[in-house]
Structure 1
Amino acid sequence: MASTKDPFEFQDFEETGNLLETNRDAVTISIEDEDIKPEEQRKATSLTPDEDPLDTDDKTELLGGQRKSVPFWTFEYYQRFFDVETHHVKERVIGSVLPWPGKNFIHTYLRRNPDLYGPFWICTTLVFAIAISGNIANFLVHSGKPNFKYTPEFQKVTIAATAIFSYAWFVPLALWGFLLWRNKTIMNLVSYSFMEIVCVYGYSLSIYIPAVILWILPFEWLRWCSIVVALCLSGSVLVLTFWPAVRDDHPKVIIAIMSAIVVLNALLAVGCKAYFFSKPEPVEKVDNSALKDVTKALSST
């Protein structure tokens, strides 16, 4: 007699249970394991047909914080130094204007992430501030004279740019080379990268922008007071930053390098003031004796 049992009816295979009891070390594969994995994980591990494996590797390196090393003469090398947030630049400007004892500018604000965006625009703003303020101050000093004819001195922009950018690049280069040489001689010295030193010098010039604007007023005492204040603030940032790098060195070397940092900073400020801002001419005093003779002659007539 033929069996009337439906062939499509679910059947419980007892043989499978018996096999598992006899061999408990057997490996079983569950179909539900694939469903347990999160959908995001499957998407991350699988590539779509249109996705390039090279692009995926680049994204993985960026997400992991890894950067490819590129030569310093390429544009990609300097591009990362301009990738900075606005609040970072603001914090660094405020930190350079208001130095605090015990705070290292590199360790506090840069955090191994120096930028060239802030130093570049600070130097550029300072160049135009010196040139424009110098022309305005020269006009105010000589205005009112009958033989004075105002002509704008555009060469001051070139001279100011040469002085400012040379100071902001060549002085850090010399300091970086010196610290690198001393670090090889004395192994326990703190070392800074060249870009970190350039960043510190660039931000240290930000205090000179408001000081230069005050130089427009034809008062020598105000100009010298602003120079002294700017020198103290800018010099303090540099001294507090580079003191840990040289404090373990020979005392003569410490005095020499700290003196050079302060003197070069002072030479830049005093040189710009002396060249771009002429000293106001004193008011000529009238000879009282000659005035009396004139009045006597007029009264006698």
Structure 2
Amino acid sequence: MASFDDLKFQEFEVAADLLSANPNASTVSASSNNPAPIQGDFKLDLSEEEAGQEENSELLKGEKQIGGFWTFEYYQSFFNVDTMQVLDRIRGSVMPLPRRNFIKHHIRGNPDLYGPFWICATLVFSMAISGNLSTFLSNLGQPQYQYRPQFHRVTIAAVAVFVYAWLVPLCVWGFLTWRKGTEPQISSYSFLETVCVYGYSLFIYVPTSVLWMIPLNWLQWLLIVVATAISGSLLVITFWPIVRDDTKLTAFATVTAIVLLHGLLAVGCKIYFFQTVAAPAPSSPTVPPLTQNHMTLLTSLTKGH
């Protein structure tokens, strides 16, 4: 039987010849217990991976920095919502619940302009189209009526809706900011949050304006009351916690002004776009008045007989 010493690795003459022919070559001896040290520093470049991980962490935390207002990324952040979020906010606007603040439960952390913009655009066309159809249906069956679509109503509706959706929130936000300036300890909403809640509050007027084309005056006014009550309660639930610490007169005056302005938009649109236009009455032939010559001729004819 071979002894343990016979199992040792040995250096053969062929390896020695190779080393002598190529001095730069190296061999690894299995009998060596200490491997040769690696010359130089061994570095692993993870700059790209680390940058990607940092970017993902910023996205998850919502802390990713955006550019200035002149960049596309700045405005892109205002439309960073998906379909489910928009539907959830619409559902919350048409079903306001007491003690469930719309901004805190649906908007806070990610206010958007996508939903408000398309809601206002849809409301503009629904009011203009339904107004023309309402005028047509109210005069249906009258031969004297000639249908003429009034395309200028689209422009007037766009001005009314978009001015309201931006100017009124600007005034409300300015008032809340002024209050916070006088009393820094009270809370307030940002301008984008105020615009967002006003935009979603207008959604209830979209189906209401479609039903307004039914030429029943009492039904149209009933729909105005219901729509104003729903959207107005959404605004009251949202803004009342901000102003309730003021005096009772100031708090109620602020909330009442918000609801009245919201209701005036619906009343003004109903009166202008859905007024009943009566067909012109048929013209009857008119008898020309008798002149002096006619009277003289009539007298002579009477005397001749």
Query: Shorter-normalised TM-score: what interval?
Result: 0.7 to 0.9
Aligned-partner SS, 1:230: helix
Instruction: Work out which of the residue numbers 232, 235, 239 in structure 2 matches 1:235.
Output: 232
2:267 is the alignment partner of 1:265: no
Pick aligned residue for 2:114 from 117, 120, 125: 117
> Which residue in the other structure is 2:286 paired with?
none
Matched, 1:90 2:87: yes
Structure 1's 97 and 72: CA in aligned 2 closer, same or farther, altered over 3 A? same
Match of 2:201 in 1: 204
Give unmatched runs, 5+ long, in structure 2.
1-5, 12-28, 282-305
Q: Percentage identity across aligned positions? A: 52
Match of 1:100, SS state, is coil
Q: Distance in 2 between matches of 1:9 and 1:84?
A: 64
Instruction: Answer with 115-124 or 242-251: which moved more.
Output: 242-251
Please tell me the residue identity of whatever aligns with 1:226: L
Deviation sequence 1:210-230 (CA, Å, 0-9, x none): 111111111111111111110
Amino acid in the other structure paired with 2:31: F
Q: Deviations over 1:70-128 (max 9, x none)?
A: 33354322211112111100110010001111110000111321111111111000000
Rounded Cα–Cα distance in structure 1 between residues aligned with 2:68 and 2:81: 21
1:178 is matched with which residue? 175
Contact 1:227 1:269 in 2 (8 A): yes
The residue aligned with 1:46 is 46
181-190 or 131-140, larger mean C-alpha shift: 181-190
Alpha-carbon distance change, 12 to 143 in structure 1, aligned in 2, over 3 angstroms:
closer
Distance, in Å, in 2 between the alignment partners of 1:60 and 1:235 is 40
The answer to whether the 8 Å contact 1:205/1:234 transfers is yes
Aligned to 1:20: none
The CA deviation at 1:281 is 5.7
Q: Which residue of 2 aligns with 1:23?
A: none
- In 1: Cα distance, 2:198 partner to 2:61 partner: 32
Report whether the alignment pairs 1:251 with 2:248.
Answer: yes
**Structure label with greater radius of gyration:** 2
Decide whether the 8 Å contact of 1:189 with 1:246 is kept in 2: no
Structure 1 residue runs of 5 or longer lacking an equivalent are 14-28, 35-41, 285-301
Cα distance in 1, alignment partners of residues 193 and 272 from structure 2: 30
Question: What's the offset of the Cα at 1:54?
Answer: 7.9
Is contact 2:135–2:276 with CA below 8 Å preserved after alignment? no
What displacement does 1:67 show? 2.1
SS at match of 2:86: helix
Q: Distance in 1 between matches of 2:162 and 2:78?
A: 17
Report SS of the residue matched to 1:10: coil
The residue number in structure 1 matching 2:296 is none
2:231 alignment partner, SS class? helix
TM-score using structure 2 length: 0.74
Distance 1:247 1:88 in 2: 29
Give, in angstroms, the shift of residue 147 of structure 1: 2.5
CA shift digits 1:228-279 (9 cap, x unpaired) = 1100000000000011111112222212211110110010000000000013
Does the aligned pair in 2 maintain the 1:218–1:280 contact within 8 Å? Answer: no
Alignment partners' CA distance in 2, 1:240 and 1:130: 27
Instruction: Kindly state the Cα deviation for residue 190 of structure 1 after the two structures are TM-superposed.
Output: 1.8
The residue identity in structure 2 corresponding to 1:181 is: W
Per the normalisation by structure 1, the TM-score is 0.75
CA change 1:63–1:113 in 2 (3 A) is closer
